[in-house]
Amino acid sequence: MADSTYGAVPASATPLAAPRPRHAAIVRLTHWITTLAFLALLLSGIEILISHPRFYWGEAGNVLSPPLFKLPIPASRATVPTGYGYVLPDQNGWSRYLHFQSAWVAVLTGLLYLVFGILSGHFRRNLLPARLSLREISAVITSHLRRRSTAAEDAGSYNVLQRLTYLLVIFVLFPLVIWTGLAMSPAIASAFPPAVTVWGGQQSARTLHFFISIALVVFLLVHLVMVWRSGLRARVRAMITGRPPTPEERT
């Protein structure tokens, strides 16, 4: 009889199961679509802002009304008083079209992500933080700021600071920026007046829309810095292919 060891497969030769993707395909797809839509919204929003860099509170506001505040930049319209002796090129036409189209792309993509997150348990599993005391939360935040990454992050999870931040962006800032953006639309104001009056008027909605957009830009900048600190190449590849960082990349 032949030696049974000849037919045995060494343990080291046993094929390993493929590692679980760090990010699901839907999460990766919606992440990049939202990124492109947000950049288009940011670019077109700046162009729209330049056409009238004055902000008001209430229902109406124009160049004859005292502004709540104004940005110290020249406008792209000669009729807007800014204190500058020149105007910038007027790009208001294409920027409004791009802003409108990009906004709907962001809304539909967000709805897809929301449905996936609820049905798949993504929010419950990856974003809802465990019950921690304020002292434990402070310790996690301090640890996160001092180190490049944590073991939980490398394993495909998020720490409590990331979870709370993502929840704030997904369920507070994004809905508010969409709502205040819609409240500036004459069609929405005509069809659903409470959607506008809850903010105190269209000009109030525009002012709030500006500050919420600033908060989203700050989040984006901080997010990019943290991705760079924790390994830019590995993190970007994980969001493209789903492949988690290797042990060498975690060090």
Q: What is the pLDDT of residues 78-132, one digit of tens each?
A: 999 998 989 999 888 899 999 999 999 999 999 999 999 999 998 888 888 776 5
Question: Cα separation of 87 and 163, whole Å?
Answer: 44
pTM comes to 0.80
pLDDT tens digit sequence for 200-230 = 999 999 999 999 999 999 999 999 988 888 7
Q: In the prediction, which pLDDT does 1 show?
A: 43
Residue 55 carries which DSSP code? E
What confidence category does residue 249 fall into, taking pLDDT thresholds of 50, 70 and 90? Answer: low
Q: What is the CA radius of gyration of the chain?
A: 24
- 46 within 8 A of 108, measured Cβ to Cβ: no
Reading the block at residue 185, the tokens are 């639309």
Question: Cα separation of 248 and 77, whole Å?
Answer: 55
Q: In the prediction, which pLDDT does 98 show?
A: 95
Beta-carbon count within 10 A of 53 CB: 19
**What domains are there in the chain, each with its CATH number?**
21-246 (1.20.950.20)
Beta-carbon count within 10 A of 54 CB: 20
237: left (phi over 0), alpha (psi -120 to 50) or beta: alpha
Question: Cα separation of 94 and 40, whole Å?
Answer: 12
Residues whose CB is less than 8 angstroms from the CB of residue 48 and which lie 6 or more positions away in sequence, other chains included? 92, 95, 96, 99
What confidence category does residue 13 fall into, taking pLDDT thresholds of 50, 70 and 90? Answer: very low
